[in-house]
Structure 1
Amino acid sequence: MSFYTSLSGLKASQTDMSVISNNIANAGAVGFKRSKAQFGDIFASSPTQSTKMIAGQGTRLNGITQQFTQGSYESSEKTLDLAIVGEGLFIVKGEPPREQVSYTRNGSFEPTPDGYVIDTTGARLQLLPVDAVGNVTDNTLAGAFDFQLPTGAPSDPASALVNVTIGLDGLVTATFANGEDQMLGKVAMATFPTMSGLRPTGDAHWQSTGESGPPTIDAATNGPMGAIRSGALERSNVDITEELVMLMAAQRNFQANAKAIEGASQLTQTIIGLR
């Protein structure tokens, strides 16, 4: 039985090292959130057995959860580089025909030749419609639309776009050569009842699941959404020093379990070799 107990410890340590290694590998990724492996002990007994005579039977992986704590920030000279100061997530939508909705903290956006604002995966950033004074008129996923930069002023299509600003509340305002301003909408953001229940899909993107619960969609500065900082990017929340210490601890656990298996093997050989 000690073989299987130590084997479970080996597998747990290997998983722990894999999770920590992934955190270290993505320390420089924009919007990346570190993961943590959680383990639980294994005990088994029948109702007629004395609980004082039961030894543990190893460990098992309870789950790998992502830690949605705030990452550090770095300044940028691009207006479309966005960072969130809060718990919100940007909402992006993939290309037709699937148009898959996902959520991200990676605020590195750029325009396409036809004016659509996309992230590093090619998904389009979503905006919420606003009225004449900048208030959101529809805060549902169905009401969100693709962020597309206009080519000309509403009253004079020949007047080219000269500037785009994004406020703390996510309000996108376009300024044209004739001095006219146009409010395009507010950047759509989402939060979830259980953030750790989101399913990671890579590139600092997540999808909702039954464990995460349904999204709450709104603009920035509302509730826990947080504010939007234009001209900044959020780095990963990985602390290299902490990860290296945890990696050393996982290596020691691996070595200890390997030593326990070696000891059990020697004991078995000794018993079998008795005459």
Structure 2
Amino acid sequence: MSFYTSLTGLKNAQTNLNVAANNIANAETGGFKKSKVEFADIVAVSILTDPSLTQGIGSRTLAITQEFSLGPVEQTGNALDLAINGDGFFTTVSPLSAQVQYTRAGSFTIDENGFIRNGQGNRLQVFPVDAAGVVDPTGAPADAQIPATNAAGSEFAGATVNTDGTLIATYADGTNTPIGGVALASFLAPTGLKQLGNSSWVATGKSGAATYGQPGSGLYGSLLSGSLERSNVDIAEELVGLITAQRYFQANAKAIDTATQISQTIIQLRS
């Protein structure tokens, strides 16, 4: 039994190493959130088992959870580089599949049709504005699109985003036009979000449905324009974790080696 017990330890150590390696590999990935491994012991008992003689039969991976702590913020000077100073996720929609995705990576650009999109081509979602140009946070989020010209026919000159998420387009005649308000999403259980890669997630039954709000309201953090959130991976912490996982692996391998030597001794005694 000791062989199989130590084997579970080897598998868990390998899982721990894989997670740590993935964290380190994404130390420079914008908006990336590190993961950690949780283990649980395995105990096999029956109704006739004496509790004082119960022994474990190994361990297993209980969960691999994400940590959504805020990563360091880097200033870029680009108006459409956005960082969330608090909780919440940017909401984007794929124009091809219409899939709603959530991300903390706020590097956005304007495409040839005026849509604001991220590196994957997904379009940023914003709340609509009323006739007075005031953001309506009760409205359904829609694609952020900047008209090439305003009502007077002046050409688009640039865009800015306020701390409350209001997206404003500036035109050549000096006028400013509110386009919408950046819609931030929050979840009851963000650790239940499904990872898609590219620092993006989708909602699941474990995360609950998304609730939307304006930056700076309620639990939603304010927006920092001209800044990007970096990965929340701490290299020093991960390297210490790698050393610990290596020792864990070596200890279980040594236990298997010891069990092998005992078995060989018993076989030699019988012969």
- Alignment of 1:123 onto 2:118: no
Q: 1:153 aligns with which of 129, 143, 150?
A: 150
Q: Structure 2 counterpart of 1:148, which letter?
A: Q
**2:79 matched to which residue of 1?**
79
Tell me if the contact between 1:196 and 1:212 (Cα under 8 Å) persists in the aligned partners. Answer: yes
How far apart are the structure 2 equivalents of 1:138 and 1:184? 16
Q: Structure 2 counterpart of 1:128, which letter?
A: F
TM-score (norm. length: structure 1): 0.95
Tell me if the contact between 1:136 and 1:219 (Cα under 8 Å) persists in the aligned partners. Answer: no
Q: 1:189 aligns with which of 174, 180, 184?
A: 184
How has the CA–CA distance of structure 1 residues 115 and 133 changed in structure 2, closer, same or farther, with 3 Å as cutoff?
A: closer
Q: Deviations over 1:130-181 (max 9, x none)?
A: 2225232534xxx211111211112x12x11122110011001112122222
Tell me if the contact between 1:169 and 1:220 (Cα under 8 Å) persists in the aligned partners. Answer: yes
**Structure 1: 5+ residue stretches without partners:** none
Q: 2:141 aligns with which of 141, 144, 169?
A: 144
**2:34 matched to which residue of 1?**
34
Alignment of 1:243-262 (within 5 A): 243-262=238-257
How far apart are the structure 2 equivalents of 1:217 and 1:124? 16
Aligned-pair RMSD on alpha carbons? 1.1
How far apart are the structure 2 equivalents of 1:259 and 1:206? 40
**Structure 2: 5+ residue stretches without partners:** none
**Shift >3 Å, 4+ stretches:** none
Alignment of 1:121-270 (within 5 A): 121-131=120-130, 132=132, 134-139=134-139, 143-154=140-151, 156-157=152-153, 159-270=154-265
Query: Percentage identity across aligned positions?
Result: 46
How has the CA–CA distance of structure 1 residues 129 and 55 changed in structure 2, closer, same or farther, with 3 Å as cutoff?
A: same
How far apart are the structure 2 equivalents of 1:226 and 1:272? 67
Count of matched residue positions in the alignment of Structure 1 and Structure 2: 269
TM-score (norm. length: structure 2): 0.97
Q: CA deviation at 1:60?
A: 0.4
**2:104 matched to which residue of 1?**
105
Report SS of the residue matched to 1:150: coil
How far apart are the structure 2 equivalents of 1:50 and 1:127? 62
